[in-house]
Structure 1
Amino acid sequence: MLATLTDPSQALQWVSTHIKPYFPATNITGIEVGNEVFTGGDTTLASYLVPAMVSIHSALVRLGLDRLITVSTPSSLAVLQDSFPPSAGRFRAELSRIMPQLLQFLAATKAPFWINAYPYFAYKDDPNNISLDYALFDPNPGVVDPYTNLHYDNMLYAQVDAVIFAMARMGYGGIEVRVSETGWPSGGDPNETGATVDNAAIYNGNLLRRQMRNEGTPLRPGMRLEVYLFALFNEDMKPGPTSERNYGLLQPDGTMVYNVGLSGLT
């Protein structure tokens, strides 16, 4: 739909149909346009992204909703050329033209940069050199960024701060970063190291405890990091590796995969 939504009249129709009738009874705080568009390999699609976001934001302005609902897009961590140490964070060279357009839009509209960040993938790809405890938020010595002297006791916060540094390198150091997806699979193929029920329960449980403490990252300790957990349900029909079907807290029939500590009362 991105090409269609570059047309302001089409964007206005979309917002009028899919957002306005449900707001504010539904607490809609953001519209995410596309998903991981920059790392999908389709440069034509990527060229439509920012114009579509501009059109949707303009529609929100016309309807008087722009101060209540932000417009952004979730990116994969693969938008980064370098992510460690966090202060070395920089975007891939091929994004040098389009990324500033996105960042300028986010800065102008006070919208966040959303990142899909999965420490699981980094651990799975290099379990001999990456500490499982560091990936899971479990107690560990952590790592120190040699250029900032900031101490990191978990990988997710390091990944988020790498994005902040990457934006600052392009002159946009003030944009908030939020996590649109993170999680840990409770099952996987034999080569998917670490994909177990125990590890999934530890990662998501530890993350939720951090969220309850309103923590920020070492680079922005005073700004609570907003995180969305992936996912509520296992996706039993999803193609790909076994892990892709096993990120949920619940089975497709609604039974619990593991108890992460949430209840209907919270």
Structure 2
Amino acid sequence: MSESRILASSPMLLILLNLLIASFFDTTAAQIGVCYGMLGDPRPNPSDVVALYKQRNIQRMRLYDPNQETLTALRGSNIELILDVPKPDLERIASSQTEADTWVRDNVKSYDGVRFRYITVGNEVKPSEPAGRFLFQAMQNIEKAVSEAGLGVKVSTAIDTGATMDTYPPSNGRFNDEYRSFLEPVIGFLVSKQSPLLVNIYPYFSYTGDMTNIPLDYALFTSKSPVTDNQYSYNNLFDANLDSVYAALEKSGGESLEIVVSESGWPTEGGPGTSVENARTYVNNLIQHVKNGSPRRPGKAIETYIFAMFDENQKSPEFEKFWGMFLPNQQPKYDVNFD
């Protein structure tokens, strides 16, 4: 029997082939979002920002608090959203399931037509700060509220690479003692729910923290001198940072977890190594690079969110103000190819 007759006689086979093709493209296409920081003045209207995301084909957004005007503007946009539960809310939500239910009802369930992808409970919560005592319980309460509301949205939290140590070479990476006991319940929770861990990864900070030993081209994806780590080879600092967290997860019961890179970017001014050209180089290389995975997790695109859409001049210190790709008037600071 010819191939065409086999296909014609089996609609189910056609469906399966289509699913396979869709799956292939999902794992190889770039998975890029952009963080929408709102600590700038002036700043554009949220409805204009959503229009800019669509115009530039940015299909995912991270929003750091449930800003009602932005959530309204996102309705029907088809933009997938990471929504943060802000750190100051964790104690209240951890103390009461009713508070968690109310937060989910008011900020998620009420916004039909918004494509919620993840709810992130806290951003870079440290074990030593007051919110650290409430993170795990707040995650459990939010997840229960989401589940009982029938929303099907994954719940996670976002950490930074300061939680890890012994990261050179990446295979030695592990969580430092303070973070290990803090994160292991969180890791177990994420494993049980098959939710990813969100990690903010900034080669810029690694570079500025050790400019003697880390070349700028290694941070900007332009190095031609790979670093060898057993069977793995690293051509850039982003992969090394990411895989050191994967190595730490493997040592703490999280070997099955996927990492979503919930922030990464490069500032245009305000510190060493900052310039428009370096930011352009980093961001455009990042977008292309994450299509192919990392040495420890090859062949699967890394879901990655660029920080940030706009500068935030209300932040400090100085280098925190200049991470935006666009000016408040929505003109690009530099050219970015989001495809």
2:201 is the alignment partner of 1:112: no
The residue identity in structure 2 corresponding to 1:47 is R
User: In structure 2, what is the Cα distance between the partners aligned to 1:96 and 1:135?
Assistant: 27
The residue identity in structure 1 corresponding to 2:274 is A
The equivalent residue for 1:60 is 146
2:274 is the alignment partner of 1:195: yes
User: In structure 2, what is the Cα distance between the partners aligned to 1:96 and 1:88?
Assistant: 15
Q: 2:187·2:253 contact (CA, 8 Å) conserved in 1?
A: no
**1:3, distance to aligned residue in structure 2 (A):** 1.1
For CA contacts below 8 A with separation 6 or more, give which structure has more relative contact order.
2
* Residue from 294, 304, 318 that aligns with 1:227: 304
The equivalent residue for 1:72 is 156
* Residue from 108, 120, 134 that aligns with 1:19: 108
The residue identity in structure 2 corresponding to 1:89 is G
User: In structure 2, what is the Cα distance between the partners aligned to 1:82 and 1:139?
Assistant: 22
User: In structure 2, what is the Cα distance between the partners aligned to 1:102 and 1:140?
Assistant: 38
The equivalent residue for 2:324 is 248
2:245 is the alignment partner of 1:163: yes
User: In structure 2, what is the Cα distance between the partners aligned to 1:46 and 1:127?
Assistant: 32
The residue identity in structure 2 corresponding to 1:166 is A
User: For the aligned residues, what is the CA RMSD?
Assistant: 1.4
Structure with a larger share of its residues in strand: 2
Listed as ranges, the gaps of 5+ residues in structure 1 are none
Percent sequence identity over aligned pairs = 36
The residue identity in structure 1 corresponding to 2:120 is E
Residue by residue over 1:17-58, the C-alpha shift from the partner in whole angstroms, topping out at 9 and shown as x without a partner, is 1001224x111110011111026x31x311200100000000
TM-score by length of 2: 0.71
* Matched positions, count: 250
* Residue from 176, 181, 185 that aligns with 2:267: 185
In the TM superposition, structure 1's runs of 4+ consecutive aligned residues that sit over 4 Å from their partners are: none
2:166 is the alignment partner of 1:82: yes
Q: What secondary structure sits across from 2:334 in the alignment?
A: coil
User: In structure 2, what is the Cα distance between the partners aligned to 1:169 and 1:70?
Assistant: 23
Residue by residue over 1:89-136, the C-alpha shift from the partner in whole angstroms, topping out at 9 and shown as x without a partner, is 110111232211000110011111111111011112222211211100
The equivalent residue for 1:9 is 98
Q: 1:236·1:252 contact (CA, 8 Å) conserved in 2?
A: no
Q: 2:119·2:156 contact (CA, 8 Å) conserved in 1?
A: yes
Residue by residue over 1:189-231, the C-alpha shift from the partner in whole angstroms, topping out at 9 and shown as x without a partner, is xxx22111110000001111224xx211100103221110000
Q: What secondary structure sits across from 2:316 in the alignment?
A: coil
**1:81, distance to aligned residue in structure 2 (A):** 2.0
Q: Which has the larger radius of gyration?
A: 2
**1:71, distance to aligned residue in structure 2 (A):** 0.7
Q: 2:188·2:253 contact (CA, 8 Å) conserved in 1?
A: no
Q: 1:127·1:193 contact (CA, 8 Å) conserved in 2?
A: no
Q: 1:184·1:204 contact (CA, 8 Å) conserved in 2?
A: yes
Q: 1:181·1:227 contact (CA, 8 Å) conserved in 2?
A: yes
